[in-house]
Structure formats: structure tokens, C-alpha cells
Amino acid sequence: MSQTVETHAGSPLTLLSEDEEMFRSSVREFAEGELRPRVEEMDEAGKLDPALIKQCFDLGLMGIETPEAYGGAGAGFFTAILAVEELSRVDASVGVFVDVQNTLVNNALIRWGNEAQKQKYLNALSSAQVGAYALSEASSGSDAFALGTRAVLKDDLYILNGRKLWITNGNEAEIFIVFANANPEAGYRGITAFIVENNFAGFSVGRKENKLGIRASSTTELILEDCAVPKENVLGEFGKGYKVSIETLNEGRIGIGAQMIGIARGALDAALHYTSERAQFGKSINKFQGVQFQLAEMATELEAARLMVYNAARLKDAGKPFVKEAAMAKLYSSRAAERIASQAIELYGGYGFVKDYPVEKFWRDSKIGSIYEGTSNMQLQTIAKLIIGGK
């Protein structure tokens, strides 16, 4: 059976303004009241509940940073991070659904879109349409610039051909940020970002992956077969797609960090709840010092991860350098989430290994954190490069 648990783990409330704390509370109420009852069914079905998607739009969660002029909430990046964390504490699939919309798709359009693109697409993304970010390919993962998708200009259309893999929100999305090389002779300097709608001729969504974790979140293949994209749908400058991708993903990594601390919080909350109720040798197991020390280690690691994620988000909002801090936050929080969720399973004993209880899902969901939006090795490479360079 799925459990409803209170938040015991605490949070650094002194870091939040009154408005931020009110926002956090409202998202938590939604997560507990509307999301939690659906988690088990969505995980088993491998699909988000459409009614829940609509509620995310109705609550303004799909355009948190988007300026009010384009139908969004006009809040800061940190506010989006709070939403991803609170949702992921209950279900990381919904957490990443909201995260990709805000930190990748909306973010790219806000920063790189022209006025006509913002008017058309940001309004739609704030009110009803889901977005997705399509960079990865079969031979282009960590080496993002090795992508093989090509774009050729014919009259007023770019014709795109290629296949994309591991695209989050692929089944739900109607608007895609797609990267293709429009000048292969120039190497990565030919990579260009395009805004692609799911009804464009030559565009289709392929196979949905059957995943270990975040199962309700759709991860799909995209198929581009002579996909016709209007010339005006180039996002940013021609040949500057590499810059769009790098700078957007730098911010997206903080969003994944928020997802990971949400998972870790959910696992710790569940462990605290269970150890206070589970009795052995005549007393609850949280009365034993060995268990207390394990819980203390989990809480300490979570707090460190949370503060790293919050710090990176605050730096981004302040317009200060944050790339190193974002890489560190993603690296550490993904490791912390996996360790905390694994320890929660052990504290549950045999019950932790079955799907009647929530902690096995937290562990399954945590594993993706070391893989997507930059593997842990890529984060280490970024960190090393910046600290050795003295930045």
C-alpha cells in the first residue's frame, strides 16, 4: 500500500522569503492532495494522468519563470526549483515533467527567442501545451556535438532528417526544441536550434522507453523524415545552437538537482515515519542508536545537497557565475538521493523491497540523476576544468 507521510526532515526556511514559502506550501498541498493518490497507478501504467497535466497548467506550474506578458507567473528561477523539489518529494516523474518545461524549454525561448516566437510559443506553453528538449541521439550523448541530425535550407523551409533519443515529455509535448547541424563542414558551429511543432510534416514520435524509474514520465524517440520547419523557427542565431544547448543545460542541471533533493526528502520522510512505527524487541526501531545514527547521516547528507542546489539557483537568479556550482549540485545531489533512498530501503527491511511501500520507487527514480542532463563524469570534468582554471 502507498503511504501518506508528513514532512519530518525539515528545510532551511530561513533561506525562503514569505512569498517563496507560501508558494512552496501551495505546491506541497497540490502534491499531497492530488498527486500522491495517483503515484502508484501512474508508475504501473508508465503514463501521466492527463487530468494531472491540466492541473499543472491551471496552477501556473508550467510557466513559472515566463514573464506575465506571455501568460506566465513572472517568478524567478529559484521559485521553479522549489516547485520541482516539492513535486519530486512525492513523484519524480511529475517533478521532471515540470522541470523540463521550465528550466529547458521555456528558459531557452525566454533567453533566445525573438518577440514573435515568444508571443506564439511562450503563451501556449504557459496555458496548455507541453514542451520537450531534443538534443540527444544514439551516437550523441555526452558528446553532444557529435549529433547526426541534419538541416538543409530549401526556399523558406529547413528540412530536418535524423532521430533523437531519450526525449523527456516526448509523448505529451506539442512544441519541441530540436538541435540539428545545418552546416556540417563547420563542425559544431553548424549546430542550430529549431522550434518544431508536433504537427509539422515529417515529424513523428517513435518508441517510448520502458524504464527502471521515473516510469510515468515519457522518454521517447523522435523521428524526423524530411521534417519541414519554417525558416522563422530558428531559435537564436544560425550556427549558435551549441551555445543555446550548453547554456540552457547549465541551468537545467540545477533543476535535476532539485528533483534529486525532492527524491531524497521523500525517502527520508518515509524512513522517519516507518522507523517511528516499526517495533522490534519491545520498542520502535528509531529508539536504537544504530538506526538513529543512520537517520542522522541521511538528514545531514540531504541538507548538504539541498543547500548546494539552493545556492546554485540563487547565484543564477543574481546573475552571477554558477556553472561550477550547478555541476557540483547535480553531482552531489544525485549521489545523495541514491544513497538516502538505498538506506531507506534497508531501514524498511523486507518491506522496503516490495512495491507495497514507497521507498523502492524512490531508489528507482534516483538512479537517473547520475545520467541525464550530463552524467556524473561530465560534471566532474566541468568542475575540474573550472577549479584548475581558477574560475
> Looking at this protein, which amino acid is placed at residue 313?
A
Q: 270 by DSSP, 3-state: which?
A: helix
Cα–Cα separations (whole angstroms), residue 391 to 241, 386, 387, 388: 25, 5, 6, 8
CB atoms closer than 10 angstroms to residue 110 = 17
Cell triple for residue 256? 535535476
- 373 included as an active-site residue: yes
Pairing of strands 234-235, 279-280: unpaired
Rg of the chain taking only CA atoms, in angstroms: 21
Distance between CA atoms of 190 and 201, rounded to whole angstroms? 23
The closest of 248, 301, 264 to 99, measured between CA atoms, is: 248
C-alpha angle 269/273/276, rounded to 5°? 140
Beta bridge partners of 283: 280
Specify burial of residue 107 (Cβ count, 10 A radius: 0-12, 13-18, 19+).
Answer: buried
- Cα 26 to chain centroid distance, Å, stands at 20
The label of the residue with cell 492527463 reads 50
Cβ atoms 378, 342 nearer than 8 A: no
Which residues participate in catalysis according to the annotation? 373
